[in-house]
Chains A and B, each alone.
Chain A
Amino acid sequence: MSVRRILPWAMVVLALMFAASAAGGFVVQLATQVLVLWCFGLSYQLLFGRTGLLSFGHAVSFGLAAFGTAHAVRSLAGVPVYELLPLAGAAVGLGCGVLLGYPVTRRSGIAFAMVTLGLGELVAACFLMFPGFFGGEAGVTLQRTRVPSMLGLDLGQGLPQLAVTAAWTLAVLGVVQGLARTPFGLATLAVRENAQRIEFLGFRTATVRWVSMLVASTLAGVAGALSALAYEIVTVDAVSMHMSANVLLMTVIGGLAHPLGPLVGALFLTVMQSVVSDWTRAWLFYYGFVFVVLVWLAPEGITGLWQAARRQRPSARTVATVLIFALLLVVFVETAYQLALGEPTRLPGWRHFGPVALQALLWSSGLAVAAMLVRGLRRSEAPA
């Protein structure tokens, strides 16, 4: 966990922050959102990427910590400890890991995934039972300026808040990087690779998994706290299956092995959600499509593909195929949407190129099918 290793990351984040502040309040907000998601994704990477535990309920630690932080802000009004508030989130996360982790990590694989699914739904379904904690349908709001900053920052402004979020995210990154170099870090990889063999070498797989869950839940708790402080509201959505699915999708798309993976995933999601959604209604479809394709073809995610591309540059043919396929998909999907909804898509350039591209697509696929049929007929007629 040396400072020297974190320094390059810190420089990059600092530069991005300056750029964001120059671009305006909206970008600062987006940047905060991306950082919170990156932090959440890093904790999920530890659980799923390193230890191989596919969890559908990771949002439980995240969301409960968010609620806990919201309540902490209310009770700590006036006490100058703002920068330490994510510790409250970490504590809640740790608690979740301790309580839920032990019985849950005695299972693995599909059983583990199903238990986390059930637990996630259970906690989300409970929200009406404890209105004092969950705040009912409306959720819990907080005013972060109630808790004064330790460093005298004006946290009503976007940029100082971004700075605090960045600092904590970098801290979580540091923890994750550091853990990778410890015996525990190696043990998690070993459990993922061969959970049976490691038992014959003195380790208890269940214990390794439980500690992994504890750490991941604690870090998710930090992310939850950052989320609560950034948005100043926490609703039941924070513990929902939707949030758990989101971190899963995001981390897999970005890449499970590289620490930049969740950042790439978060950027991808944010761009899709904020920019592409203005152009087309199909953005969620594209998002899911990218996920499915990556899972099937490139489970190492975008960062993995980038690393592979650095080792061996992909051929022009591969790149061309991918681009053409992506283009065809967009044309197809946008046309379908247009037909179904009756209104034209707002994808830039569609008005001019769309109909032409569609005709080209129809013609070329017709020709391709015909060519395949002819070839198939030729083959069956050929002498055996």
Chain B
Amino acid sequence: MTSSDPDVALMLRVRHGDNDAFRELIERHQRAVINTIHRAIGDAWEAEDLAQRVFVQVHRSAKRYKATAKFTTWLFTITRNTILNEYRRRSRHPSESLDALQEPSDPEGAGWQAADTSARDPAQEAVERELQEKVMEAVRELPEAQRTAIILCRYEGLSYEEIGKVLGCTVSATKSLLHRARLTLKEKLRGYY
């Protein structure tokens, strides 16, 4: 990786305390991070809160960041660890969600939006919403490693190698995870395709 990679160039600026560069970095990746978390835990507000935590961790680790791997691989590794920490926290305190722990840090931040809900046939929209919910549910029910592999492959377009780095496994193990996840989804979504 070289500084010709825009993310690496931004991280080098962040390392020197450039908050404008950090804002740009957030804006480039916020959607990917929020949606990765949202697909894993299913709650939009919590997804935003955890995504903010991910970016804060990125900022605090900027000095230790080495441009030896692709920035997104590093970012998704932090994202995955944040999700895993959230699972652990939930298993220790099953009745608590982040909503119960603290109020939104900024009242103006209320209200996330589903992507692209421009004027369409309401019936069609309802069918699509149902399908989307079914898909999200099926993905969420996958074992953690399979789910992460599917999300990173299908929605974020990461290569097998990059997914393997995020999950800490080999390329062949990644392929195997994806295959098993697809077979499970094929069963769970029967009737929707």
A and B interact: no
* Interface residues of B, Cβ cutoff 8 Å to A: none
* Interface residues of A, Cβ cutoff 8 Å to B: none
